[in-house]
Amino acid sequence: MQAIQPAYGLIFDVDGVIADTEGANARASIAMFAEVFGLTGVVREDFEAGLGRGAAAYVRAAAERHGLELTDEQVERATARRQENFLALLEREPLGPFPGVLELMSAALDAEDFAVAIATSGTRAKSEAVLKSARVPYERMTCVTGSDVIRKKPAPDLFETAARRCGLPPSRCAVIEDAPDGIEAARAAGAACIAVTNSTTAERLARADRIAASLAEVSLDEIRALIDARR
C-alpha cells in the first residue's frame, strides 16, 4: 500500500518547549564560567540574549554582560565544558516533559496527515539526552539539530531543513517555540508559529501566530486551521 503524503508538518523546538532545560542550561554554564575562566557572579538572566541561538551565542551573551571578550577557541572550549556539565546534571536530575507535549506529539504521530519533526539549535548529543530524559519517541520523527546547519536562529535554516526532510514546504508547517529568535526563524522560513510561555513572557512572544500557556491547550485541529489559513 502506498504511503499517504502528509499535508501538515509539526516541528518542535527542544529547550524550553519539550522540557524545562533553561534552568539546567544556566546552572551548567554558570559552573563552566567559574571552572574555565574563574568568573563568578554570573546569573541566569545574563544568558537571556543568547536563548535559542545555539551554545556559542548563549555563552557569548553572558561573557559580554561581564565584559569578557572570548576568542573562537575559548568559546569552543567553553561550550564543550558547558555540555559536559549539562549532561552530568541530566544524569543526576532527569527532566520530565512539559504538560501536553507527549500527548500532542502522540496525536500528530498517529495522524496520517501529519509529519512530525524536532528542530533545535542544540548539539545532537545534548538534544538526544533531553529527548530521552523527557521520554520523547524521537526515533519516529525527523530530527534536525545545530550540528546539521551552519546558521542558527534567527536564521530560518533549521526549520527549512526540517520541513524539507518532512517532504513539505515550510508554509505547510507549524513550529512550536518558546523564544523570540525562534519565532523570527519560523517567520523567516514562512512557517506558522505557536509560542509557549515556558521561558519568557507573552509580550516577548507577540510575533507568534498563537501564544499558549501550555501545549495542553493546543489541538491538531487548531494547528490544521492555523496552517490552512496561510494559503
Considering the chain, what is the average pLDDT of its residues?
A: 94
Largest CA distance in the chain: 62
pLDDT digits (tens, 9 = 90+) for 82-125: 999 999 999 999 999 999 999 999 999 999 999 999 999 988 99
pLDDT tens string 182-203? 999 999 999 999 999 998 899 9
Mean local confidence (pLDDT), 46-64: 89
Domain boundaries, the chain: 8-19+95-228, 22-92
Query: Is CATH 1.10.150 correct for 22-92?
Result: yes
pLDDT for residue 52 is more than 80: no
Asked whether the predicted pLDDT for residue 27 surpasses 60, the reply is yes
Give the separation between CA 197 and CA 203, rounded to whole angstroms. 9
Burial category of 190 from C-beta neighbours within 10 Å (exposed 0-12, middle 13-18, buried 19 and up): middle
Mean pLDDT of 174-179: 96
pLDDT given for residue 49 in this prediction: 86
Q: What is the pLDDT of residue 1?
A: 42
Measure the CA angle with vertex 97, ends 96 and 101; round to 5°. 165
Neighbours of 150 (CB within 10 A): 7
3 or 149, higher pLDDT: 149
Domain 8-19+95-228 adopts which CATH fold?
Answer: Rossmann fold (3.40.50)
pLDDT single digits (tens) 120-139: 998 899 899 999 999 999 99
Give percent of the chain above pLDDT 90: 85
Task: Report pLDDT for 4.
Answer: 74
- What pLDDT score does 3 carry? 59
- Mean pLDDT score, 13-19: 94
Per the CB < 8 A criterion, the answer to whether 81 and 33 are in contact is no
Cβ(13)–Cβ(184) under 8 Å?
no
- Contacts by residues 201-206 (CB-CB < 8 Å, ≥ 24 positions apart): 204/180, 205/177, 205/178, 205/179, 205/180
**Predicted structure pTM score:** 0.86
DSSP per-residue letters across the chain: -PPPPPSEEEEE--BTTTB--HHHHHHHHHHHHHHHH------GGGGGGGTTS-HHHHHHHHHHHTT----HHHHHHHHHHHHHHHHHHHHHSPPPBPTTHHHHHHHHHH-TTEEEEEE-SS-HHHHHHHHHHTT--GGGSEEE-GGG-SS-TTSSHHHHHHHHHTTS-GGGEEEEESSHHHHHHHHHHT-EEEEETTSS-TGGGTTSSEEES-GGG--HHHHHHHHHTT-
Which pLDDT does position 8 carry in this prediction? Answer: 98
Task: Please determine whether the domains at 8-19+95-228 and 22-92 fall in the same fold group of CATH.
Answer: no
pLDDT of amino acid 174: 98
